[in-house]
Structure 1
Amino acid sequence: MACLLAQYNSGDILMKYSNVIVSGLCMSMVSLATAAPTEVPSDEPVTLRIISSMATRQFLTEVIAQFAQQSKYQVELESVGGVDATKRVEAGEAFDVVILSANAIDKLIDSGKILPNSRIDLVKSGVAIAVKEGAQIMDVSSEETVKQAVLAANTIAYSTGPSGVYLTEVFEHWGIAEQIKDRIVKVPPGVPVGSLVAKGEVELGFQQLSELLHLKGIIILGPLPTDIQIMTHFSAGVPLKTNQQKAIKVLLDFLASPAATEAKIKNGMEPI
C-alpha cells in the first residue's frame, strides 16, 4: 500500500466497501444500434477514446490493460476532474465513452450529448477521511466523532464533485457551516484532496476512497460512518456522435462483467 491506514488496514476498508454479491452486470446496448450513427467499416486498428473522472482512474487503468490484452481494440483513457470532463463533453469534444457520476451522465443525456438509454452503471464508491502521515490519529467511527474531528481541524478540504456537495449539506445540518467556513480549502477540479493532505496544506481531507488508497504520505482514518456515508454511483455513457458502436459494446460489456470485479474491489469500489 502506498499510504498508511489507521484503525483499518487495506483489507478492512475494502471489505467494508465490497461486501456485495455481483449479479446482473450485463446491460442492454440496444440504443447503440438504433440511435447512433452507422459504424464506419475500416481495416485500420480501432482505438477508443475514454474520458473519466479521477475517482475511477485506478480501476479503469487496470481493467483497460486487461481488455487490451484480450481484444483487438485499443483504448486511450484520460482521467480529469468530473467538472472539467463534463464541460469538455458539453463543448463537443470527441470521445467514444464517457465515465462519470451517474448524475453527470444523466445531465449529459438530457443535454443531448449522450445517447438516451446508453447509460451503464459500473461501480459505486464511498467517502473516506485522511490526515497527513505522522499527524494525530482521530476517531472517526461515529457521526459525532467525525463532527468533533472537523471542529478540531484548522483546515478542511473535500472534492468539488457530488460528495463535496453532500458534505457541505452535512456541515449545515450539524450547524457548524458558519463556524468552519474560513477553514475550508477550495480544491481546484482534478486536484486530489489527498495530495494537499500529504503536502501538509490541509489537515483533514474527505475524498473518494478510491482516490486516497494509492497516495503516499497520508493516513486513511477510515470511511465515513454508515449513517452519514454517501455512495456515489459511476456510470458509462456513449456520446451521440461516435461511430464505433461495435467496439464500444465489447468494451462496456467487459467493464460491467465479473472479469472486472477484482480490480474494482481492489481499488476501493463496489461493483453494481
Structure 2
Amino acid sequence: MKINRIEGAPLSGISSMATRHVLAELVDDYERRWGQRVRIESVGGVDAARRVSEGEPFDIVVLAADAIDRLTTARRIDPTSRIDLARSGMAIAVARGAPHPGIGTQAAMRDTLLAARRIGYSTGPSGTHLLSLFERLGIAETMASRIVQVPPGVPVGSLLANGEVELGFQQLSELMHLRDIEVVGSLPPETQSFTVFRAAVCTVSTCKDAAKALLSFLASPSAAPAIRRHGMEPMT
C-alpha cells in the first residue's frame, strides 16, 4: 500500500463512540507500520456530524452510513472517498450479577421487555431501531414511560451500572468493553438491526492523499481481525 506520510501535525479524525475502540487499535497499528501519526476523537454521533457540518478541521470522519450520506449532501466530505468499514449489530445488557433474561426469540424478548421496569437506549441508530421495534411489537404505548435515553456520547451501560435501568440496548461494540455490566446477547435475528459504519475524507482536509491512505488501511483485510475483536463485522 502506498503511504503519503505527512510531517508535523498528525492526521485528525472524528468518529461516533461505536467505533472508538476499534479505531484506537487500528490507528496504533497504522502508526507502528507506517510512521504516520493519527489522532481520532470519538464523541456522540450527533455531535460528530454537527462538528463536521460546521467545518471543523478534521481530515477524516467515521459515522453511520446515513450520517455520512447527509454530510455528502452538505458537501462536507469528498464523495469519492467514502468507504464502508464495518457493520455492527445490537445487543442487550444487564448490570453485572443480574439475572440474564430470555431473548432467544422475538416472543421471548417481547416478554422480557414487558417485564422490565426501566430500559436504557441511545440517541444513535440503535435507539431509533428500538423505538420502531416497540411499534412493530405493539408495545410502544406501554413502554413509553419506562424508557430512558442517554445523552449523545454517554454509554447506555452507565445507566445499568448505577441501577437506573434494568435492561440496556445499544451497539454490541459499545456495550462489550464496559465494566460493571454483562452482555446478555445479540437481538434475535427477526428483531436485529445492523448499522454500517462508513468513513470519508473531509473537504476541509489539507492532507487528502494521506487521509485516503489511512482509510484504505482501515478498510483492508488486515483490519478485519481487529474489527471482529470489537464486536463488529468487517465489510471486506
Select the residue among 61, 66, 78 that pairs with 2:24: 61
1:182-201 maps to which residues of 2 (within 5 A)?
182-201=145-164
For the aligned residue pairs, the C-alpha RMSD in angstroms reads: 1.6
When normalised by structure 1's length, the TM-score is 0.83
Q: Tell me which residue corresponds to 1:15.
A: none
Q: Extract structure 1 runs of 4+ deviating beyond 4 A.
A: none
Question: Are 1:245 and 2:208 matched, yes or no?
Answer: yes
When normalised by structure 2's length, the TM-score is 0.95
Matched residue type, 1:113: R
Question: Are 1:50 and 2:13 matched, yes or no?
Answer: yes
Partner Cα distance (2:80, 2:211) in 1: 14
Partner Cα distance (1:241, 1:197) in 2: 39
Partner Cα distance (1:70, 1:99) in 2: 21
Which structure ranks higher in relative contact order (CA pairs < 8 Å, sequence separation ≥ 6)?
1
SS of residue matched to 2:58: coil
Q: Tell me which residue corresponds to 2:137.
A: 174
Matched residue type, 2:153: G
Matched residue type, 2:106: E
Q: Tell me which residue corresponds to 1:5.
A: none
How far did 1:194 drift?
A: 1.1
Q: Tell me which residue corresponds to 1:254.
A: 217
Question: Are 1:148 and 2:111 matched, yes or no?
Answer: yes
Mapped contact 1:45–1:72 kept (Cα < 8 A): no
Q: Tell me which residue corresponds to 1:209.
A: 172
1:66-85 maps to which residues of 2 (within 5 A)?
66-85=29-48
Partner Cα distance (2:149, 2:127) in 1: 10
Partner Cα distance (1:97, 1:118) in 2: 10
SS of residue matched to 2:11: strand
Q: Tell me which residue corresponds to 2:69.
A: 106
Mapped contact 1:157–1:205 kept (Cα < 8 A): yes
Partner Cα distance (2:26, 2:60) in 1: 15
How far did 1:46 drift?
A: 4.7
How far did 1:145 drift?
A: 0.9
Q: Tell me which residue corresponds to 2:198.
A: 235
Q: Structure 1: which 5+ runs fail to align?
A: 1-25, 27-38
Question: Are 1:130 and 2:93 matched, yes or no?
Answer: yes
Partner Cα distance (1:97, 1:224) in 2: 31
Q: Structure 2: which 5+ runs fail to align?
A: none
Mapped contact 1:90–1:113 kept (Cα < 8 A): yes
Matched residue type, 1:265: R
